[in-house]
Structure 1
Amino acid sequence: MKTFITSILLVISLTTQAQLKPISYSDENQKLEGLLAKPGKMNAKKAGVLVLPAWMGIDNNAKESAENLAKLGYITFVADIYGVDKRPTNSKEAGQIAGSFKTDYKAYQKRIQLALDQLIKAGANPEKIAIIGYCFGGTGALEAARANFKVNGVVSFHGGLGRDAARTIEPINPKVLVLHGADDFFIPETEIKAFQDEMRTSKADWQMIYYADAVHAFTHKDAGNDKTKGTAYNEKAAKRSWQAMVDFFNEILAK
């Protein structure tokens, strides 16, 4: 009976700690609203994770990631990159808005920093912070590394790797983990090579893991399973990449 009650209490605890709380903040006149997830039991270092969503903005994938990270003991914040009145309603709008931030990367970096500020304000240890991002958000995670934000590391899940070749390559301090679909034809080999050359030139501590039979958006459960479209969910790759992220965090945040 005691074991049964303990199990019930554990389930209740995990459910409670996964709740997402809307947090309002702003970029000058632009209103933003992210989501905060606080764990029921904090990790010893009070480490925090910032989640950067894919190009549709705050979606179910970002929310689920935040909930699962909170269950692991991390204070987690899902960034609002676009703004409360700028959420895309379809892929065409998403492409246009995301494209504008990729071009104006400093504006993207600013929105990421504002979200980081919210994460720290919520109680995360500023000395133990990581950023993860999906697709467009994966690009953002790399931009945070390029800007040398004060974070321990960044993780890009099936993110864009490109950068304007005219940009100066600076030394990169945060550790970098790229989780990439081996069959992702949206990211050309030339972009991959340029990224790897950038990592070498910047003297970054970087890793890049390829997942077999995986294309773009392989972590997104709503991406379907038709690889020929270029985006598809791959359960095995999703689980393996999540574990790779967890191992990375154990290295950079737990010590």
Structure 2
Amino acid sequence: MTLKNAFALFVLFSTTYTQAQLKTVSYSDENQKLEGFLATPKIANATKAGVIVLHAWMGISDHEKESAEKLAKLGYFAFVADVYGQGNKPTNTDEAGKLSGYFKNAFDVYQHRIQLAVDELVKAGANADEIAVIGYCFGGTGAIEAARGDLKVKGIVSFHGGLGKDLKRETKQINTKVLVLHGADDPYVVAKEVTAFEDEMRTAKADWQLNMYANAVHAFTHKNAGTDNSKGAAYNEKADKRSWEAMKIFFKELFEKI
């Protein structure tokens, strides 16, 4: 066997192994069919903790799937939730804006879709008492909604998510630990929205953290977002790595009770 053929086999094996980590899971919200993706750890952590991964406004992408696989390698059960449902994946940003806007306004529906995903994660073997929710952009907003809705989750992590909340909504006590990972130069989450979020967390008596990453704008974990900050959304390798490490430390505290 030539070195070239051996390398090709290695790549094929590696790709197959990576894809095998994910299992498609069909579930539903009444008449709406949903399709999520489950990543099961080869060796689960001691508490059989699980993590829900919420997608950005364009729907489930490789980004969320890769995150689930990485979480499984860390020993967590991971489930990529389908918030929009089959047949509703946006084909452009206009559609994505309308659909994500609907769920942001109908936050109770959003929270319900997250709960359905939690149920699937528990069915897959995760400990119902050891669940966290993470999300990216629109999904980061969803992670915060899981805390606002008092879903039975121990912690949430929002990666460059929207922080705003309708001022008419009551601020209730938040019992879920909150970690927000935010681009310091994000033009889509203005300073007054950040300040209002901080005030909300204080009023809600939450256990919360807000990490700000220098020179980072919106979507700083998305490698396909380019690197031009002037566009408002761009990848930032340093912020991506730092935010993932912050999440790991948060989970260590959350699930290992250090």
Q: Same fold (TM over 0.5)?
A: yes
TM range (shorter): over 0.9
Shift of 1:18: 6.3
Residue 44 of structure 2 corresponds to 42
Structure 2 counterpart of 1:104: 106
SS of the residue corresponding to residue 123 of structure 1 reads: coil
SS of residue in 2 equivalent to 1:253:
helix
Counterpart position of 1:150: 152
Q: What secondary structure sits across from 2:247 in the alignment? A: helix
Q: Distance in 2 between matches of 1:32 and 1:248?
A: 29
Q: Deviations over 1:151-197 (max 9, x none)?
A: 11000000000111001110000000000001101101111111100
Partner residue of 1:57? 59
Show the counterpart of 1:33. Answer: 35
For 1:104-140, what per-residue CA distance to the aligned partner results, in whole angstroms no more than 9, with x for missing partners? 1111111011011101111100111110000000000
CA distance in 2, matches of 1:91, 1:63: 21
Which residue in 1 is equivalent to 2:24?
22
TM-score by length of 1: 0.93
* Residues 1-255 of structure 1 mapped to structure 2, 5 A cutoff: 15=17, 19-255=21-257
Q: What amino acid maps onto 1:38 in structure 2?
A: T
Gap regions ≥5 residues in structure 1: 1-7
Question: Aligned partner of 1:69: which letter?
Answer: L
Query: Which residue identity is paired with 1:127?
Result: D
How far residue 15 of structure 1 moved from its aligned partner, in angstroms, is 3.8
User: Which segments of structure 1 move beyond 3 Å, counting only runs of 4 or more?
Assistant: 14-18
For the aligned residue pairs, the C-alpha RMSD in angstroms reads: 1.5
The normalised TM-score by structure 2 is: 0.92
Identity of aligned residues (%): 64
Letter in 1 for 2:249: D
Q: Secondary structure at the match of 1:23?
A: strand
Contact 1:42–1:75 (CA<8 Å) still a contact in 2?
A: yes
Contact conserved, 1:17 with 1:38, CA < 8 A, in 2? no
| Structure 2: stretches of 5+ with no match in the other structure | 1-9
Q: Which digits, 9 at most, give the CA deviation of each residue in 1:33-87, with x for residues without a partner?
A: 0000001111111000000010011111101100100000100000000011101
Residue 19 (structure 1) shift: 1.4
SS at 1:151's partner residue?
A: coil
**How far, CA to CA, are the matches of 2:17 and 2:184 in structure 1?**
35
